[in-house]
Amino acid sequence: MGISMGPVGRPWRFDLALAGDRAVPMRIRIGRAIVREIQRGRLAPGSMLPGSRTLCAQLKVNRKVVVAAIADLASQGWLEPLPARGTRVAVDLPSFPVADVESPRRSAGAVLERGRSWLAVSDGIPDSRIAPIDELARAGRRALLALRRSALGYGDPAGDPALREILAGFVNQARGLSSTADEVVITRGSQGALSLFALAMLRPGDAVAVESPGYSPAWRAFESLAGARVVHVPVDAHGLCTDALEAQAERLRGRLKAVYVTPHHQYPTTVAMSPERRMHLGRLAERRDFFIIEDDYDYEYHFEGSPLLPLSAAPDLSRRCIYVASLSKLIAPAVRLGYVIADPSVVARLRQARDTLDRQGDVILERSLAELFEDGVVQRHARRARRIYGERRRHLIEELRSSPALRDRFDCTPSSGGLALWVRLRRGAVESLVDDARAAGVILTPGSSHLPSGRLAAFRFGFAAHTLEELTRLCRVLEATGRQDGQPAGRRSSRSPPSRRS
Amino acid sequence: MGISMGPVGRPWRFDLALAGDRAVPMRIRIGRAIVREIQRGRLAPGSMLPGSRTLCAQLKVNRKVVVAAIADLASQGWLEPLPARGTRVAVDLPSFPVADVESPRRSAGAVLERGRSWLAVSDGIPDSRIAPIDELARAGRRALLALRRSALGYGDPAGDPALREILAGFVNQARGLSSTADEVVITRGSQGALSLFALAMLRPGDAVAVESPGYSPAWRAFESLAGARVVHVPVDAHGLCTDALEAQAERLRGRLKAVYVTPHHQYPTTVAMSPERRMHLGRLAERRDFFIIEDDYDYEYHFEGSPLLPLSAAPDLSRRCIYVASLSKLIAPAVRLGYVIADPSVVARLRQARDTLDRQGDVILERSLAELFEDGVVQRHARRARRIYGERRRHLIEELRSSPALRDRFDCTPSSGGLALWVRLRRGAVESLVDDARAAGVILTPGSSHLPSGRLAAFRFGFAAHTLEELTRLCRVLEATGRQDGQPAGRRSSRSPPSRRS
């Protein structure tokens, strides 16, 4: 069933689902089809919808049904009625759950079926809405055309050479490393970097020490891809407790192959590892001969003072450091490009594993990013993002501090950077908070999910992906949940969706 | 050092390499910089280069050097001098080696340094030059814009739900499977599918039977990612020798977990597995309880008669078949999208492994492809590609048969489809042929590289990625190497680059 829409600029068709599932009321089906077209970008924000008479004639349905579907979408914020002019697609579209693994299609379904829009407290992802998408699209187009001309298609398993050179220069200049293109491997996000290390460098029975609370997807990569044993080491206000690590290293002897750390803004607590701990970790690595996997997932985002340089910038450590970083945080989660910087002997093994695993990365995306770096687009975006996120961070801190109800319940000592605050509950269980927030339409990941077992009365409050208005709204919801204190919510199942970092 | 070029439409800068490596003569450095801009698509084919006076003023070099650099590139086919008008970028750019892992930058270097253009006999890849690149670029742009609007970025580890539904419908309709979207996992090319199976379904010590000669990247995935033992089973004119497989299965008992086959066009020999062998394989899989990994990497390309349906289309086998296919072959190698269709219990494990490995695929690319399928672009391209490749195939067969010199040396019984011919040498070693061809500027992969050890006097002659003129040129080179017969080339090292399939 095809309908063409003049003002949109190009004809578009409703999804076949409109004609398909006859059990769903026509009003809902029409609504879903329109939302889908908006999400796919075929109906642009601000463009006019054809009149309801035109629509119902083309869809061969009663006009009342079309009018009702449009009213549904208007109440959900997808469409805006303009008096005497018709209906247009909203300029600011509704927010979606961002922390969950839901597809846009399923999200749209949820929005429509439940008749309300959900908001998820982000884990600390960047805001795709401010990303340099136009520039990326243009660079992608040029990369594709160049690809056709050169008849190429297969690339280097370590990634596009130009991008590797650029990334080496980028971290050298901004983070004090002294790397060359030959020491860089481009990966599928930072998770791809960790799994590549697991596959190339670990064997069953090897031990890897990790931070606890920490980044559980890393644990899974070491355990389930390499059969390694993950050893949990506590974190305090100064980062990884290196005394505890020393005791573990002593106990494990030669089996400890690597330590996985997030020293810049510890995940999830955001604390920076102190210089003393860093030196202690370096000495231990030398003495016990293990690798330091330094996951520097959001180095760009420091808001107060200048940050400590990465461990990998220390000349005497660089040989045993596996530096992991990501462009997903710098641009958008959908730009799934991470990279590893490591000693050439490690790079050789990573490259081989990569070739076996899936041969190479996304040539088109890698070349596009190289171009965006060369043209300064990434650098400009980073400056702009830092400014916007800094403002959002200040706003969230101000909201949390200015409300007596929130100040009374939550404790939050902001670290100097990162894209999230670590908020501790002064009383009560985070699981009740999660349940109450969910009942109010807000999805929240409890801190316990960052532990191998046990509970942690805290949560990550990502601020970067939310506008100031959204942050205020989230804080009002948290305030409202507080009013129910003393009447704990029922023990609904509240083990949260997995955290989504980069 | 920046120079802006009016007619090109947007300013462009020379790569920093121009100012960098001072050991390389300026003439070469200028040439490289121009080639790089062409390859990146910033200097479009057919666009005018600024005059040499303008160039030398901006680069601050002697005009003679610029003129010499332009002359170099003109002789290599990059630029075309137009009498009295200046110099323009060639409309038909030189061919590159396509079978090798070389990056475009290194290829350009090779072209420039050796002063000649290499041509690689393709392994059987499609021709990126005919791919629907414009449509893909437009769809990519829309996917990116939609992504920004929806604030999403993380997706389903099994892949975009819309694309999974489309792929299920596509293989059901064209290949007789009866799959649903829930049985589809989108992967990083077919290699990504094989490595996902290895990680999710195999354990150290498990045995996997493979075809020999066969597709060695699959062997590496089973061996090095899962620690599985690869057991080689011979292939003859009817495909995998199932009697030999039966003997191995008997010997291995319960340890044989899977058999990896390419029944449609066996890799590398292109033979189709006979119906009797297929039935035998199916019975063995039931009796011995192993999976059949059916790699159907180029089902689209059959040129004579209608092909046998995949093993996975047999209702009694579908539960134990892991159907692997790829869009790389359908569109372009750079479109690294493969997919697996398997029983939901297998899919659940693949999805989990995927989440651990790198979380998800390329959301933007997956959505773009969904749109291209919905708009019929992929289907139209497949029909066009089949026509073009069929013509190239006929041309190559005609060339090989009509030349007495080639007919005398090479034996080739074309199978009914695929993107390559399997050419056997009637006499002599393929290694000598490889050396002689290389001396004549042609890169060729010896059949021996498809065996675990030993020699195979044959090679794959991919025809799809070459124009009729290129195929003719390749055949002339092969003819010329034949004239040296009786004077065998020196035993230069000729173990070839790894095969690049999809």
Scored b (16 or more CB within 10 A) or e, B158-189 reads bbbbbbbbbbbbbbeeebebebebebbbbbbb
Angstroms from A433 CA to nearest CA on chain B? 25
> pLDDT tens digits, residue range B181-229?
999 999 999 999 999 999 999 999 999 999 999 999 999 999 999 999 9
Residues of B in contact with A192 (CB under 8 A): 357-359
User: In this structure, what DSSP letter does residue A35 have?
Assistant: H
Is there a contact between B143 and A363 if contact means CB atoms under 8 Å apart? no
Q: Which helix (H) or strand (E) is A455 found in, with range? A: none
Report how far residue B321's alpha carbon sits from residue B318's, in angstroms, rounded to the nearest whole number: 5
> pLDDT tens digits, residue range B334-353?
888 999 999 999 999 999 99
> pLDDT tens digits, residue range B226-250?
999 999 999 999 999 999 999 999 9
Beta bridge partners of A48: A88
Residue to test with chain B: of A34, A219, A220, A356, most B Cβ within 10 A: A356
Residues of A in contact with B152 (CB under 8 A): 96, 98, 104, 107, 128, 334
Partner residue opposite A129 with nearest CB, options B151, B199, B204: B151
Question: Where residue A171 falls among pLDDT bands split at 50, 70, 90?
Answer: very high
- Of A206, A198, A274, A275, which Cα lies nearest the Cα of A235? A274
Residues of A in contact with B38 (CB under 8 A): 146, 149
Which class for B251: exposed (0-12), middle (13-18), buried (19 or more C-beta within 10 A)?
exposed
Is the pTM higher than 0.95? The answer reads no
- Of A134, A8, A130, A104, which Cα lies nearest the Cα of B140? A134
In this structure, which long-range contacts are made by residues A383-387, counting pairs with CB atoms below 8 Å and at least 24 apart in sequence? A384/A130, A385/A126, A385/A127, A385/A130, A385/A300, A385/A301, A385/A330, A385/A464, A386/A300, A386/A301, A386/A303
> pLDDT tens digits, residue range A406-459?
999 999 988 888 999 999 999 989 999 999 988 888 888 999 999 999 999 999
* Residues in CB range of B114: below 8 A, 6 or more apart: none
Q: Is B201 on the interface with A (CB under 8 A)?
A: no
Token pair of B427, please? 């006499």
Q: Is B164 on the interface with A (CB under 8 A)?
A: no
Is there a contact between B500 and A353 if contact means CB atoms under 8 Å apart? no
Is there a contact between B334 and A96 if contact means CB atoms under 8 Å apart? no
Say what the alpha-carbon torsion angle A34, A35, A36, A42 is, to the nearest 10 degrees: 70
> pLDDT tens digits, residue range A125-170?
899 889 998 999 999 999 888 877 664 556 789 999 999 999 999 9
Beta bridge partners of A417: A302
Q: Is B104 on the interface with A (CB under 8 A)?
A: yes
What is the ipTM, given to two decimal places? 0.74
Is there a contact between A156 and B191 if contact means CB atoms under 8 Å apart? no
Tally A–B CB contacts below 8 A.
243
Is there a contact between B101 and A364 if contact means CB atoms under 8 Å apart? no
Which class for B146: exposed (0-12), middle (13-18), buried (19 or more C-beta within 10 A)?
buried
Residue in B closest to A367 by C-alpha = B40
Tell me which range, A68-82, A88-102, B479-493, is most confidently predicted by mean pLDDT: A68-82
> pLDDT tens digits, residue range A391-414?
999 999 999 999 999 999 999 988
Length of chain A: 502
* Residues in CB range of A206: below 8 A, 6 or more apart: A226, A228, A229, A255, A257, A258
Residue to test with chain B: of A118, A122, A148, A219, most B Cβ within 10 A: A148
Question: In this structure, are residues B104 and A150 in contact, taking their beta carbons and an 8 Å threshold?
Answer: yes
Residue in A closest to B92 by C-alpha = A149
Residues of A in contact with B129 (CB under 8 A): 148-149, 151
Question: In this structure, are residues B146 and A39 in contact, taking their beta carbons and an 8 Å threshold?
Answer: yes
Partner residue opposite B128 with nearest CB, options A151, A161, A225: A151
